[in-house]
């Protein structure tokens, strides 16, 4: 269509008209083939690309919800009271809200510059460090130390945590999920993934209170830090960088084998397209 031709022309500045038209024709043919496939729940498990899209999406939303954000946002004031922060809890909550908005607005610009993989990795690692320090503050309190002179430590830790979350997982996780599924299974795939994500959010809240009542609040916080630490290798090794890629390129990438016939890992240069490699 004309709009597709204009979009590809804008994305492929400097390319010849023949190359642009060839890419538009290829994309249109791929979309028609995908739409011709049956839209069923079984289709989610019918191809390598759909299976990978499903477990990558579920993994991203699992780590998103288990990062601790549902708990942190629901009991922020209580956490500051327990941490003995010498600042109004309402003011801290307002700071967090403004911070999430500000950093969240910067997210798209960061994604355009670095793709999805880098912000997600930095986000997970930053949340791991922030919650480790935050949990350490509660651990020192549990040992009987007077931490009133270090009230800025929990505040700074949570400010860093919110910033790292808003920079990566807050936006990029859902963006990747929206790009992985083929059109014929996108509605089913995203619906199933979101349901799993909501279930993980409820699970994270319940687990936090169980761990808190059994081992202490510091272990509850550290459990989220551990989850964020596990999100780092998951993002590096499994999450593709779909930023700037066409639907056809994404599906071809997901369909490529990660292991050869001798069960050896396929080199990353062969596993992904060159646009993907430049972001890793």
> Coil, strand or helix: which one is 251?
helix
Specify the DSSP class assigned to residue 39. Answer: -
Q: Which positions ≥6 away from 233 have C-beta within 8 Å?
A: none
Tally of residues, the chain? 280
Can you tell me the distance from the alpha carbon of 20 to that of 30, in angstroms, rounded to the nearest whole number? Answer: 15
Q: Vertex 238, ends 236 and 239: CA angle to 5°? A: 75
Token readout for 258 is 């990660």
Per-residue pLDDT of the chain (280 residues; tens, 9 = 90+): 577 777 777 777 777 777 777 777 777 776 666 666 656 677 777 788 888 899 899 999 999 999 989 888 888 777 777 777 666 667 777 777 787 778 777 777 787 788 888 899 999 999 999 999 999 988 988 888 877 777 788 888 888 998 899 888 888 888 888 888 887 788 888 889 999 999 999 999 999 999 999 998 899 999 999 999 999 999 998 888 887 777 777 888 888 776 544 434 444 434 444 333 333 3
Can you tell me the distance from the alpha carbon of 63 to that of 79, in angstroms, rounded to the nearest whole number? Answer: 22
Given this structure, which CATH class describes domain 47-278?
A: mainly alpha
Alpha helices in the chain (DSSP H): 2-11, 17-36, 48-65, 69-74, 76-82, 89-114, 117-142, 152-167, 169-180, 186-215, 217-238, 247-255, 268-271, 274-277
What's the pLDDT score for residue 276?
A: 37
Can you tell me the distance from the alpha carbon of 252 to that of 3, in angstroms, rounded to the nearest whole number? Answer: 24
Nearest to 231 by CA among 122, 130, 103: 122
What's the pLDDT score for residue 36?
A: 62
pTM of the model: 0.76
Can you tell me the distance from the alpha carbon of 54 to that of 35, in angstroms, rounded to the nearest whole number? Answer: 18
Nearest to 130 by CA among 99, 94, 89: 99
């Amino acid at each position: 269509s004309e709009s597709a031709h204009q979009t590809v022309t804008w994305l492929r500045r400097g390319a010849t008209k023949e190359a642009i038209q060839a890419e538009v024709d290829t994309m249109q043919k791929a979309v028609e083939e995908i739409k011709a496939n049956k839209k069923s729940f079984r289709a989610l498990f019918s191809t390598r690309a759909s299976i990978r899209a499903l477990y990558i999406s579920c993994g991203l939303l699992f780590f998103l919800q288990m990062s601790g954000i549902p708990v942190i946002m629901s009991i922020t004031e209580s956490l500051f009271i327990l941490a003995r922060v010498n600042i109004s809890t309402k003011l801290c909550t307002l700071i967090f809200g403004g911070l999430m908005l500000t950093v969240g607005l910067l997210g798209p610009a960061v994604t355009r510059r670095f793709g999805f993989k880098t912000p997600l990795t930095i986000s997970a690692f930053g949340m791991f460090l922030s919650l480790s320090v935050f949990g350490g503050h509660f651990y020192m309190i549990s040992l009987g130390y007077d931490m009133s002179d270090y009230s800025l430590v929990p505040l700074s830790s949570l400010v860093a945590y919110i910033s790292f979350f808003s920079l990566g997982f807050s936006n990029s996780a859902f963006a990747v999920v929206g790009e992985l599924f083929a059109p014929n299974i996108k509605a089913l795939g995203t619906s199933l993934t979101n349901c799993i994500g909501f279930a993980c959010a409820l699970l994270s809240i319940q687990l936090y209170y169980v761990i808190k009542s059994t081992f202490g609040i510091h272990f509850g916080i550290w459990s989220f830090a551990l989850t964020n630490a596990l999100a780092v290798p998951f993002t590096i090794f499994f999450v593709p960088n779909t930023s700037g890629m066409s639907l056809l390129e994404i599906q071809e990438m997901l369909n490529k084998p990660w292991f050869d016939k001798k069960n050896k890992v396929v080199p990353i240069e062969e596993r992904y397209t060159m646009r993907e490699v430049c972001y890793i």
